[in-house]
Amino acid sequence: MELDLPLRKIIHVDMDAFYASVEQHDNPELKGKPIAVGGGSKRGVVSAASYEARKFGVRSAMAGYIAKRNCPDLIFVRPRFDRYKEVSQQIREIFFEYTDLVEPLSLDEAYLDVTENKKGNPSATLIAKDIRQKIFDKTGLTASAGVSINKFIAKVASDYNKPNGQKTVNPEEVISFLEELDIRKFYGVGKVTAEKMYKLGVFTGKDLKEKSLEFLDQHFGKSGRYYYHVVRGVHTSGVKPHRIPKSVGAERTFSENLSSEVFMLEKLDHIATELERRLVKSKIAGKTITLKIKYSDFTLQTRSKTLPYFVSKKELILETAKELLYQSELENSVRLLGISLANLNTEKKKEESPKELVVVQLKFDF
C-alpha cells in the first residue's frame, strides 16, 4: 500500500530548564541547589526553576513569594538574557551543521527537519543523539529531544524522557502513540481547553478521535480542526526557517510608569481587546504572539511564542501574553506594553489538504 503523506524526519530539541541550567553552569556554587531565575523582587515572578527547585513544586510563572514558601532554601538569581541569547546562538550553530531547516520556537527550543541532512545520516534518532552530545560538549548543558514524522509528535515526544533524554516515535507507532496520549499532553491544549475536553468526555487521543470534525469545530472553533487532524497523525505544517515578519499589533504608553505586574495584566487585557478588534476587522489570525516591553529608561524588550495553530481570539492571545510577561523578571518600571501577532494566515498559500495517515509495513530509518 502506498503512503498518503510525505513522511518527514523531524526533531524537536528542547534544552532542560534552560535559564536555570545556564546559571548553574556559570556559577558552580549553584550546582545541585534549588534556584529560580527571576522572582526575587517584591512582586516578581519566577521565569525558570532548576530541577532541584521543581521537586518542591516551584514552577515558572509562579509568584516569587509562593515559590519561596514552597521551597524555603530557594535561591533567586537575576536573569541575564544576553548570556542566554549567546548560548542559544551556539546551540543553533550546531543545528545548522545538520540542516538549514531549523525553526526556533524560543531561545531554548527548535524544530529541525533532517529528512535530507548535511551528514547524509538516514537516522534521525542518531542525529538527535549526536546533537545532544555536541550541545553538552560545547555548552556543558543538557538537552532533550523528540523524533517523529511531524512537528506535533516530535514536540510531544521531547517531553517524555526529560531531562537529558530523547524519544523516537517511529512511523508505525504514530497511531497508537496518539491514541494513548493523555489529552493534557497535546501541544496546544492548555489547562482551560483540557477542562473543556474532560467535560466532553475526552481524556485521551482515542476519545478525541471518536469526535467528528463538526463536533470539534462546534466546540473549539478553528483549533477543533487542528485537534481533529493532529490526532490522526496529520500535521502538514513544515519546518519554516524564514518567517515573514508581517504582523498586526496594538500597544499602549502609560502616563505613569508601571512597576506592578498586577496593573500590567489589566493593561494587557485592554491591549488584547484592541488587538482582537483589529484582527476581526481585517479577518486575520496568526500564530506568533509577541509581547513588547519598553522600560522607563527606553530600553526595549520583546518576548515571543509561537502556537501550533492560528489564533485571533482575545482569550488565547491574552493567555500567551501573560505567560510571556511572567517569563522573566522585569528589569525596570514599564512605560509601554504592546502585543502583536505575526505568522499570519494571510501569508499562507493554500493549505495542503490533509489526508488520513496510512503507515503500512514501512521501511523507514528513524
DSSP β-ladder status, 166-168 and 300-311? unpaired
* Interface segment toward Mg ion; rule CB under 5 A; list 56-64, 107-115, 260-268, 301-309: 107-115
In the complex, the smallest distance separating the C-beta of residue 145 from Mg ion, rounded to whole angstroms, is 11
341: helix, strand or coil: strand
The secondary structure element, H or E, covering residue 89 is helix 81-96
Residues 6+ apart with CB under 8 A from 225: 213, 216, 217
In the complex, the smallest distance separating the C-beta of residue 88 from Mg ion, rounded to whole angstroms, is 11
The CA-based angle 149-153-155, given to 5 degrees, is 120
In the complex, the smallest distance separating the C-beta of residue 108 from Mg ion, rounded to whole angstroms, is 4
109 is catalytic: yes
How many whole angstroms separate alpha carbon 57 and alpha carbon 23?
Answer: 20
Nearer to Mg ion, 101 or 107 (CB): 107
Residues of this chain, 270-309, that bind Mg ion according to CB under 5 A: none
How many whole angstroms separate alpha carbon 220 and alpha carbon 280?
Answer: 17
Residues 6+ apart with CB under 8 A from 82: none
Kindly write out the interface string for residues 56-95 of this chain, putting x where it contacts Mg ion by CB under 5 A and - elsewhere: ----------------------------------------
Q: Does 108 bind Mg ion (CB under 5 A)?
A: yes
How many whole angstroms separate alpha carbon 251 and alpha carbon 268?
Answer: 9
In the complex, the smallest distance separating the C-beta of residue 112 from Mg ion, rounded to whole angstroms, is 15
Nearer to Mg ion, 77 or 275 (CB): 77
The closest of 8, 10, 16 to 132, measured between CA atoms, is 16
Phi/psi zone of residue 141: left (φ > 0), alpha (ψ -120 to 50 degrees), beta?
beta
For Mg ion (CB under 5 A), the number of binding residues is 4
Residue 145 phi, psi dihedral angles, 5° rounding: -145, 150
Nearer to Mg ion, 34 or 146 (CB): 146
Nearer to Mg ion, 107 or 334 (CB): 107
Residues of this chain, 1-60, that bind Mg ion according to CB under 5 A: 14-15, 18
In the complex, the smallest distance separating the C-beta of residue 127 from Mg ion, rounded to whole angstroms, is 19
Nearer to Mg ion, 128 or 344 (CB): 128
Catalytic residue among 103, 109, 276, 319: 109
Q: Does 158 bind Mg ion (CB under 5 A)?
A: no
- Is residue 108 a known part of a binding site? yes
- Is residue 14 a known part of a binding site? yes
Distances (CA, A) of 53 to 43, 50, 70, 73, 263: 19, 5, 9, 9, 28
Which residues contact Mg ion (rule: CB under 5 A)? 14-15, 18, 108
Q: Which residues are annotated as a binding site for Mg(2+)?
A: 14, 108
Enzyme catalytic residues: 109
